[in-house]
């Protein structure tokens, strides 16, 4: 099973998955990084790990279709079976999602459908909800939507800082996402209908 991890920023989930592959937890043949941000720290992580990088900046293309076509060409070249979104800050088009239907995973730092969007941890913290958590799901054409694969909740502690909550959420992500990718690679996951 060949994996493409899509990331736009720091890349801590990228690193968690790479460690799981290198440690033998996830049985993967090939692993690549797809990044749309030439300044993303994840690029340094990939270089250090010796992972091939596909850097495709949206600014280099006149439309999203051409941008995604360039990505798809690289996915075909590397014979990618599974797309793993790990902080990729772009919506994929319905056409891209259809092409990779049941083969695109995403992780989100809330208990979806609550707190969609880029600031989910902060939104949950400021709303003062009792619980938040992490969701891993199949991707469809809506933002932070699609069949849920795994969710785990954590209590927001009294007097907990936002930074502390963020750290606990990220630690939970780093544990859950490799588990789901492992299940997919072993053919043990029910695909979306």
Write out the DSSP string of 120-180. HHHHHHHHT-SEEEEEEEE--SSTT-S-EEEEEEEEPPTT--HHHHHHHHHHHHHHHHHHH
Q: Tell me what pLDDT residue 191 has.
A: 57
Q: pLDDT digits over 34-83, tens only?
A: 999 999 999 999 999 999 999 999 999 999 999 999 999 999 999 999 99
Question: In the Cβ-directed half-sphere of 24, how many Cα atoms lie within 13 Å?
Answer: 0
In a domain, 34, yes or no: yes
Q: pLDDT digits over 77-104, tens only?
A: 999 999 999 999 999 999 999 999 999 9
Percent of the chain whose pLDDT exceeds 90: 97
Q: pLDDT digits over 158-175, tens only?
A: 999 999 999 999 999 999
Its pTM surpasses 0.75: yes
Confidence at 189, pLDDT banded by 50, 70, 90: confident
Q: List the domain range (segments joined by +) for residue 89.
A: 3-106+135-149+173-185
In a domain, 166, yes or no: no
In a domain, 190, yes or no: no
The catalytic site residues sit at 108
In a domain, 64, yes or no: yes
Total number of domains constituting the chain: 1
In a domain, 162, yes or no: no
């Amino acid at each position: 099973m060949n994996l493409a991890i899509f990331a736009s920023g720091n890349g801590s989930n990228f690193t968690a998955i790479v460690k799981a592959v290198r440690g033998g937890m996830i049985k993967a043949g090939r692993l690549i990084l797809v990044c749309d941000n030439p300044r993303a720290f994840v690029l340094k992580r990939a270089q250090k790990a010796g992972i091939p990088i596909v850097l495709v900046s949206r600014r280099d293309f006149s439309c999203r279709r051409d941008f995604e076509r360039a990505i798809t060409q690289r996915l075909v070249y590397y014979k990618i079976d599974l797309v793993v979104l790990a902080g990729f800050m772009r919506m994929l088009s319905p056409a891209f999602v259809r092409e990779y239907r049941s083969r695109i995973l995403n992780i989100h730092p809330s208990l979806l459908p609550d707190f969609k969007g880029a600031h989910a941890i902060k939104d949950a913290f400021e709303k003062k909800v009792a619980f938040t958590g992490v969701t891993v799901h199949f991707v469809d054409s809506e933002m932070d939507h699609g069949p849920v694969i795994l969710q785990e909740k954590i209590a927001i502690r009294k007097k907990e800082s936002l930074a502390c909550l963020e750290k606990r959420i990220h630690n939970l992500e780093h544990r859950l996402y490799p588990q789901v990718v492992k299940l997919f690679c072993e053919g043990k996951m029910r695909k979306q209908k």
